């Protein structure tokens, strides 16, 4: 990482150091000129190769970052199989295989958003409450630093403290909550425990400024959705689009619908995207892979549509590289975020707005 004495944002491709370092202002979007350039030596991996920044609101503001990336290597709120603790490292590794220039949008993500990587949230093994409190604190610092947050989990209990952070940050206004998942995750509790990966939607509903009319879900399917989870949606104003309906109506129409629901009359939106929403054929590296899901082309379409709406927090959860020797899962998850950022940048640029 390189920062000027004033602490302003400055890019060094993948944290390379030494005489063969790529040092030109635009070296990150062109083919490497030196042997130690992008795609040659990963160096110390950060997401997008962005500079590291402490998770401190003042440091984030000083660097002028508009996007903060966080890793949440937590999988002890998990009720299925573990493995998501390696998700953030896998996603950072995948990002070293790509340039931050997205030709589809003619945008350099790094120059536009000046993103920073704030590292991993510290985890206390065996202590769900303490770990969730750290997640809340880290996300709060990023929001207070004036940045939008993108984080990689970690099991799907991570949205519980991070959505609470967004709720508290926007306590004078309303927030919307979107949930793209194979599972409804709306259990009142799991064996008496409220804060697990089975209940992020229920806990969002508990937030004082998040109404059911602004909660939307898309992608549920198959037999790991107990009746009490479905009853939550049937007995509330929350919006439900199961996978069968997505297939019938099309991914574009359904994606726009959940974003419209989440943004209607709200001041901020949380987008929770579980990787098991994707079909097991293209996302084997997830906690609970399932058939009859969203395909990779559709996932990128969701990301592109999401970029036209925007979100204050975008979370990609339950990424488990250990279950995918091909590494296609981490690359697809990486591309989902890249296309979201590319689309978001183009949308703001076309509207004449800064990030």
Residue with the two structure tokens 């959705």: 225
Asked whether the beta carbons of 314 and 337 are under 8 A apart, the reply is yes
Mean pLDDT, rounded, of the chain: 92
* pLDDT at residue 50 greater than cutoff 80: yes
Q: Record the tokens describing residue 172, joined without a space.
A: 């004078």
DSSP state of 91: H
Q: Is residue 309 part of a domain?
A: yes
**Structural domain count of the chain:** 1
pLDDT, tens digit, for every residue of 328-346? Answer: 999 999 999 999 999 999 9
Structural domain containing residue 197: 13-182+191-350
Q: What is the pLDDT of residue 13?
A: 54
The SS3 of residue 155 is: coil
Q: Is residue 3 part of a domain?
A: no
pLDDT grade for 43, boundaries at 50, 70 and 90: low
Q: Is residue 5 part of a domain?
A: no
Query: Which CATH number goes with the domain that contains 26?
Result: 3.40.800.10
Q: Is residue 74 part of a domain?
A: yes
pLDDT, tens digit, for every residue of 271-314? Answer: 999 999 999 999 999 999 999 999 999 999 999 999 999 999 99
Q: Is residue 19 part of a domain?
A: yes
Asked whether the beta carbons of 148 and 311 are under 8 A apart, the reply is yes
Asked whether the beta carbons of 60 and 147 are under 8 A apart, the reply is yes
Q: Is residue 2 part of a domain?
A: no
Q: Is residue 50 part of a domain?
A: yes
Q: Is residue 217 part of a domain?
A: yes
Q: Record the tokens describing residue 143, joined without a space.
A: 């929001």
């Amino acid at each position: 990482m390189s920062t000027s004495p004033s602490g302003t944002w400055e890019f060094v491709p993948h944290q390379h150091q030494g005489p063969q370092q790529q040092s030109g202002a635009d070296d990150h979007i062109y083919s490497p000129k030196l042997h130690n350039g992008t795609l040659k030596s990963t160096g110390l991996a950060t997401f997008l190769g962005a500079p590291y920044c402490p998770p401190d609101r003042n440091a984030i503001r000083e660097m002028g970052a508009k996007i903060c990336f966080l890793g949440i290597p937590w999988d002890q709120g998990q009720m299925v199989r573990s493995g998501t603790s390696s998700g953030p490292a896998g996603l950072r590794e995948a990002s070293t295989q790509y340039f931050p220039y997205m030709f589809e949008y003619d945008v350099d993500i790094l120059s536009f958003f000046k993103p920073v990587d704030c590292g991993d949230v510290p985890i206390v093994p065996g202590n769900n409450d303490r770990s969730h409190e750290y997640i809340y604190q880290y996300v709060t610092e990023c929001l207070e630093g004036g940045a939008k947050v993108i984080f990689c989990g970690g099991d799907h209990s991570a949205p519980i403290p991070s959505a609470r952070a967004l709720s508290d940050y926007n306590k004078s206004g309303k927030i919307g909550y979107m949930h793209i998942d194979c599972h409804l995750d709306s259990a009142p509790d799991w064996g008496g425990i409220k804060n697990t990966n089975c209940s992020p939607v229920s806990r969002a509903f508990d937030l004082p400024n998040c109404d059911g009319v602004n909660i939307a879900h898309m992608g549920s399917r198959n037999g790991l959705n107990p009746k009490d989870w479905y009853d939550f949606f049937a007995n509330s104003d929350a919006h439900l689009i199961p996978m069968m309906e997505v297939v019938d109506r099309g991914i574009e129409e359904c994606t726009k619908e959940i974003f419209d629901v989440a943004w209607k009359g709200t001041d901020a939106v949380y987008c929770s995207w579980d990787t098991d929403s994707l079909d097991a054929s293209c996302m084997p590296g997830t906690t609970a892979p399932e058939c009859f899901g969203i395909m990779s082309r559709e996932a990128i379409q969701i990301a592109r549509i999401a970029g036209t709406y925007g979100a204050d927090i975008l979370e990609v959860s339950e990424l488990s590289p250990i279950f995918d020797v091909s590494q296609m899962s981490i690359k697809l998850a990486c591309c989902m975020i890249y296309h979201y950022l590319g689309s978001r940048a183009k949308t703001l640029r076309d509207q004449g707005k800064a990030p």
